[in-house]
Each structure stands twice: as C-alpha cells, then as structure tokens.
Chain A
C-alpha cells in the first residue's frame, strides 16, 4: 500500500480555488461519478487519490485512521488480515472506491440496519474548508462530545462542505462465521416474516428479490446453527450481497430509484425490484413515474441514483427535496464552510 501525504499541495489548490472563486470537483478514483448531479463543464478536478495510506491502525484500539485517497479495497484487506472490518459495509464500486468518497457519500451496505451506518462509525476527520485551512474535528477515541460533531456532518455531504484529508473510523471484530440463506417467500408475506426475526441476533442482512428472501447470519458457529433452525432455507451464494451493494444487480436499469422508508412501510412493496435493509430500502427500476409524489405522506425519501442525463427534466433534483427551513439550514451551513461556493457546487442540491 502506498503512503503519501499531499496535504500541503491540496491546501494550495484549495486556496487557489477559493481566491479565484473557481469551483472544483473533488475526486478520488471517480467510482461514484454517477451519484449526484454532474458538475458544470468548466469545473476543475481536485484529485485526491494520490493522498493515500494508513496513518494509524492498532487493532486493539478498534480504530483505523486513513488518508482520503486510500483504496477501500486496501483498507478492507488490512482489516480482514486482523480479523476486523468496516461494519457499515461500504459499497466498493468498480473495485476502485477510495475512503474519501466512502465518507463523503456516506453510503452503507446491507449490514446497515444491524450494525449501523457510515456516520455511526466516523470518529474524526481532518479537512480543508473553504477558509483554506487544515482543521481537525473529532479524534481517534470512541466517545467525544467536545465541540459540534462536524465529522458526522461532513459524512454524506458529498464534498460540498470541504475536502476530507483523512478520517478515523471505529472498526469491529469480523464475525467468526457467516452464512447466506435463500428462502422462497412471496412478497406479500415478506414483512410478517421479517417481523418474526426482529430479535434474531446473528442476522446481518435481509433482502428480497424475485420471490426469494436472502438472509445473512453472522456470529459464532453455535449462534448460526441455532438461528438456522428457526429460519430454515438453503445455503446460497454470498456474492448476492456484493452485487446488491454495488448495484451490479441493476446493471440493465435505465432509471434506478433508491427509496428509504421505515421497514414496516407499505409503500412500493409490490413495485420494488429489490427490498433490502430488512424492509427499509426499496429499489425501483424504470418505474415510469416519479415515486416522490407517492412518498408525500410517508416518512422517507427517494434518490434518483441512475438516470439518462438527456431525459432528466431541467431543474429536477436527484436527491429528495428538503422542507424550506431545513434547506435554509443547509444553505447557511454551506455558506459558513464554503463561503466562495467552490466545493462540488450543485452536486447534492442545485441550490448549493
């Protein structure tokens, strides 16, 4: 694994961008170019993939600190060789996602409902804001309430608040054993079936596609055996989760909607191509309608993840529109972190 600290160079680039009000697109290996709005044509690219390497990793502390350009695959491999893992199971798109993008997108995999999300495991970040300074928030310890939680605010902000230099993450022990099971279950029976598993502890993923409920059990052999007696089902290919997490199972979709709702919600139960997160995440493929209209009465949100650029009506948002007061808070935070508006403008919402 290469290790290189490019802080000084990146700082100069940010200072130059802010001094001349020149917008930049922050990019590692570009594995998430499809996610969010495309940058305007004249936008310069601020490359962070060279800023890479593990700064600190002591398995006994359950903490890893890495530079933003470090490939996710390298981190996964290092952790795995110490029987540890990133428990939020970040997707590795095209096998070239980097840690900066993992945190900036804040995406979590199938383990999310059972282990927590990306932001749940973020302990601290070092970043460059639009004021052109290197700043550190949070740290490498598990509990820290000194100052506002800027590291978690930055997680999932799609690079709009600043450039992440490095991140400290809590890691967890890898489960001793893991098995993926397939159970033939009709969609209409899915929720009652999932509900009966609410207290099933080794459960680490539950998704439904094409009449099959996929379950992943993680834990000790004994725990898995005991849970299997309750679930039934046949052992099946664990590669299912990887395909789902990286959206490979939707490769033929022209338009892909990600709908996040409370697990017991009744919405799009029938229409969803895949239901993940034990019911909480529903994927709509080429629905032919805007699902956001139907979500109006629900506590949830929809993201247009894949789309044909040419078919996108002007002014449409990809992420769920925010209520006025909340949008206003976003704009005011953006103004504070990035007064010149140079970082990934419009990537998340057109207004900032």
Chain B
C-alpha cells in the first residue's frame, strides 16, 4: 500500500474523533467474523456515528485506494467481514437505532446495525413482525442480512431478505449518498435493490434499511415427526409440497444433529430417529385445522414414527429452539466445525445426503446435517479439530467436495451464507469466465476503484486458473484461453 499511514490515520481521526482503533490488542477483536477459520487483524478500525462520517471515510479510502471493509455484527459464516490487512474496517455498530415505524404502510426504517430480532420485538405491540429469521437473529444485524441476502427457517413462504426490504440508503465508495427502492411496491429504472442484496459489501455501504412488516398470523402450529430413514423424510417433504400447502417452515435434521440439539436444549426430539421433520403451518384459524389434517395424513403415509403438534407459543418455541441451536449444539461435539450452505433441487436430497455420508467416511470426519428442506438449502456441519495436523485442510477439502456435488446436481454453492472468502474457489466451478466477467463488470459499475471488500465473493480469472482442479463443465475446459500455473 502506497500511502502515508500516519497521515491517513490523522485524517481518519479528524473525521471520527476517538472512534478509531489502532492498537493491536483491540484490533484483534475484529480479526474474524463467524468463519473463525479465517483470521486477519485489520490495519485500522473506525466506528463512525453518522452518515456524513461514513461518506468522508469512503471518500478518503477511495482517494488513497485503501481497501474498505464494512462490518455489521460479524456473525456471517463465509468470511464476508474478514478484515483486510492493509485496509480500514468500518464497523456499523453505532448505527443501531430504529428510526421510524409506519404502521399504515407496514414499513420500518432502521439503521443497519439494528439486530434482526430487535425489529420484530419493536413492532410486536402493533401485531406486526419482520419475517426473515436467520438462526443468528438475536445477534446478526439487518445491514449484514442485506449484504448476505439472509434467509431463515421461514423463507419458503415469506422469502429472503431481498423479498422483505423495500428501500436502502447507501454511501457509494466515492462518498455519494443515494437511495434505491421505494416505499412504493416498485421503483423506476433497474432493480438495483435486488443487485445490492447478497452483494457482500462489494458494491456500497448500507446506512439505512426500510423493511416490510407483516401482520402476525392468526394461528400457528408446528408439527414434529421422526423418521426411520432420511429417504422417507425426504419423500415426505416432496409429498407435503405436492398437497398444495405452503408451510411457513419445513426443516429437516439428521440423527447426529437431532442428538446434538436434544442434548443441548432438551427440545423433546426423538433421539432414536434417523431424521426429524419440523413443519410450521400458519394462517387463519379456519384454514389451519384442515391443513393440519392433510399434513398428518401425509406424514403417516410416509411412516412417520411419532407425530406431535405444538400449538402454544411456548411449545412451538421449544421445538424451534432445538433447530435454531443446532449449530452451537453440534459445535459441542468437536473443537471446530465447518458449516456448508449448498442448495439443491429437493428431489436430489436423498442422493446428496447419501454421498455426503460416504465422503464423511472417506475423509474420516463426522458430519451432521441441518437442512432447510422446503427450499433445498443444506447445512452439512463438518466436525474437525484445528489442533490436529491436517484436519482443517481435510475439512476444507471435504467441504469443497460437497459444494461441487451441489453444483453437479443442479444446485448452487451458497443458498444464504454468501461466498465471502470461504467459497471463492468454488465460484470458478459454478461460473464460466464470461459469467465471472459480468460480475466484475457489475462491481466496476458500482466501485470503479475496487476499494470495497477486495478479494471476496467473486474470484479473478487468474485465481480460478490457479485453483485449477481442471473444472470441466459440459465436457469443456472452462479456461481454455488462460495459461496454466
């Protein structure tokens, strides 16, 4: 980096006063996000407290070509907020206010550092809520949800973050403040709102988010059932969809995940089952009972072992608690775990889970599966011990194999956690050089000097060539024009 470091930090101080961190012990707090396998102490951390400061910081970084990485709560699982050694880490932690609630238009305007759950809690007295509910919702910030286009257990029916955000206010890398989207149901021009969702902090810095609120459903119930095999649970999922019922949530766990969750939170899961389905139905009272009858008939037809129905808030919360705590619960089984995030067509579920357990034997690493079954989003958790020589590398290779398997069956390497640093090499498998070039074009349109979150989300073509592994897609070498390294 060709910049007068002391001078640059002086300028940062002029912008945000004491809200700047330069000493190593305090910088270390920021060295990782939820992907703890990747660590990097940032050069400097700033914690601006208003939009004008963010604009000035962006302008300063852009003019000196200093990398700028925005960070919300740091709960992301793909290394999207991993700092840059030569860059500024911009924490949006001080942007933590809910600015307004418009119950007439069912919208809330919030700052990006507000946690996902805080929005629903804030509007609960109005009978409203914010639908996307990633498992980390008590901690993750709405700005981070936008950056990753987060999902959750209810997105089969209620959609992802992109379906639930109406408008964003952003700071461009040149320090311009602008808005995309609208409080109306659509806006003029290109759908920039959609492009910014899931863009992993590569295109702009979100400083305000207007979310859509929904009225709480009149009635909700959660049905839990165990199965003697993963296959029969998978068939049941397809059969449920085929009835025409759209469940609010439809989740599956395999035996290791069931046992870990049960031991951790005592949700009342059947620990002898090979697979567990959680199906939430919501809507109006008059409709729910008939749907429940149909659902139970489908489950019985697929030889569900024990079916229980939770109606009360407390019972439903208990059943979901097991699922939402599955990651930390599995985390107790081994010193470290890797969480994968591939999405596949639902019909491929049994095949993919079968191959994952074969890979597990091959690599000698146990795996537990948590699965957004309704929308085909898999979360295999690979257990390893970073202190064992070679274990991390094995886990990474195992993970890469799973992602490549997801692509092979017509799926994608990431459903909701993002590419970040973690899956950047697998992007070379999923996309052709020409497709990656389009992504670089989008990046250049928003961030011409490429200062935002460099090295994440979209690999350079040379990185793909180096990654090699000779990815053959439809019988063709993907990089015929590039030199091999």
- A residues contacting B by CB (< 8 A) are 58-63, 83, 106, 108, 112-113, 116-117, 119-120, 129, 131, 133, 135-137, 139-150, 152-153, 155-157, 161, 172-174, 176, 195, 198-199, 201-202, 219-220, 222-223, 225-227, 260-264, 277, 280-281, 299-301, 303, 319-323, 325-327, 329-330, 332-333, 335-337, 348-349
Contact = CB atoms under 8 A, between A and B. Distances in A.
B411 A219 contact: no
Contacts of A199: 127, 215-216, 218
Query: Which of B203, B291, B445 has most A Cβ within 10 Å?
Result: B445
| The 6 nearest A-B residue pairs measured at CB | A336-B441, A152-B194, A199-B215, A143-B415, A142-B375, A173-B244
Nearest to A300: B184
A326 B180 contact: yes
Contact of B189 (A83, A299, A326, A337): A326
B191 A146 contact: no
Interface in B171-193: 172, 176, 178-180, 182-192
B195 A152 contact: yes
Contacts of A83: 244
B453 interface: no
12 contacts: A117-B185, A135-B438, A142-B156, A152-B162, A156-B186, A198-B106, A199-B218, A220-B287, A319-B189, A323-B178, A326-B192, A335-B445
Nearest to B147: A145
Given A117-B185, A153-B191, A333-B442, A147 B155 contact: no
Contacts of B414: 144-146
Contact of B195 (A58, A106, A148, A260): A148
Contacts of A322: 188-189
Query: Which of A63, A155, A220, A319 has most B Cβ within 10 Å?
Result: A220
A227 B416 CA distance: 36
B345 A140 contact: yes
A51 to B, nearest CB: 20
B160 interface: yes
B154 interface: no
A61 B186 contact: no
Contacts of A148: 195, 198-199, 203, 439, 442-443, 458
B43 interface: no
A227 B427 CA distance: 48
Interface of B: 102, 104-107, 127, 148-149, 151, 155-156, 159-160, 162-163, 167, 172, 176, 178-180, 182-192, 194-195, 197-199, 203, 215-218, 238, 241-242, 244-246, 283-287, 290-291, 343-347, 372, 375-377, 410-419, 423, 427, 430-432, 434-439, 441-446, 448, 457-458
A321 B188 CA distance: 8
Nearest to B106: A198
A301 B198 contact: no
Contacts of B176: 325
A351 to B, nearest CB: 11
A60 B242 contact: yes
Given A120-B163, A263-B105, A153 B149 contact: no
Given A83-B244, A149-B195, A325-B172, A222 B432 contact: no
A142 B446 contact: no
Given A147-B435, A222-B286, A303-B188, 6 more contacts: A60-B241, A142-B377, A145-B418, A148-B198, A262-B184, A335-B445
A179 to B, nearest CB: 14
A143 B151 contact: yes
B284 A223 contact: yes
A59 B163 contact: no
Contacts of B423: 146
A149 B215 contact: no
B145 to A, nearest CB: 11
A348 B188 CA distance: 10
Contact of A139 (B127, B191, B375, B410): B410
A72 B105 CA distance: 32
B445 A332 contact: yes
A137 B194 CA distance: 14
B343 to A, nearest CB: 4
B425 to A, nearest CB: 12
A61 B287 contact: no
Contacts of A139: 410-412
Contacts of B194: 119, 149, 152-153, 155
Contacts of A280: 184-185
Contacts of B192: 153, 326, 329
A5 to B, nearest CB: 15
B155 A133 contact: no
A137 B435 contact: yes
A278 B437 CA distance: 42
Query: Which of A117, A161, A201, A337 has most B Cβ within 10 Å?
Result: A201
A146 B215 contact: no
A141 B415 contact: yes
B410 A140 contact: yes
B348 to A, nearest CB: 10
A201 B185 contact: no
A39 to B, nearest CB: 19
Contacts of B291: 220
Nearest to A199: B215
Query: Which of A156, A176, A337 has most B Cβ within 10 Å?
Result: A156
A300 B182 contact: yes
Nearest to A147: B439
B168 to A, nearest CB: 12
B434 A149 contact: no
A341 to B, nearest CB: 15
A202 B217 CA distance: 11
Nearest to A139: B412
A235 B415 CA distance: 43
Contacts of B444: 332, 336
Contact of B104 (A135, A172, A176, A195): A195
A262 B186 CA distance: 10
B434 A131 contact: yes
A143 B346 contact: no
Contact of A135 (B156, B245, B410, B434): B434
Given A61-B346, A222-B287, A223-B284, A145 B185 contact: no
B166 to A, nearest CB: 9
A119 to B, nearest CB: 6
Contact of B372 (A143, A155, A336): A143
A225 B183 CA distance: 32
B39 to A, nearest CB: 23
A149 B184 contact: no
A112 B185 CA distance: 8
Contacts of A277: 185
A60 B347 contact: yes
B182 A333 contact: no
Nearest to A132: B434
A325 B345 CA distance: 39
A260 B188 CA distance: 9
Contact of B188 (A220, A301, A329): A301
A112 B194 CA distance: 16
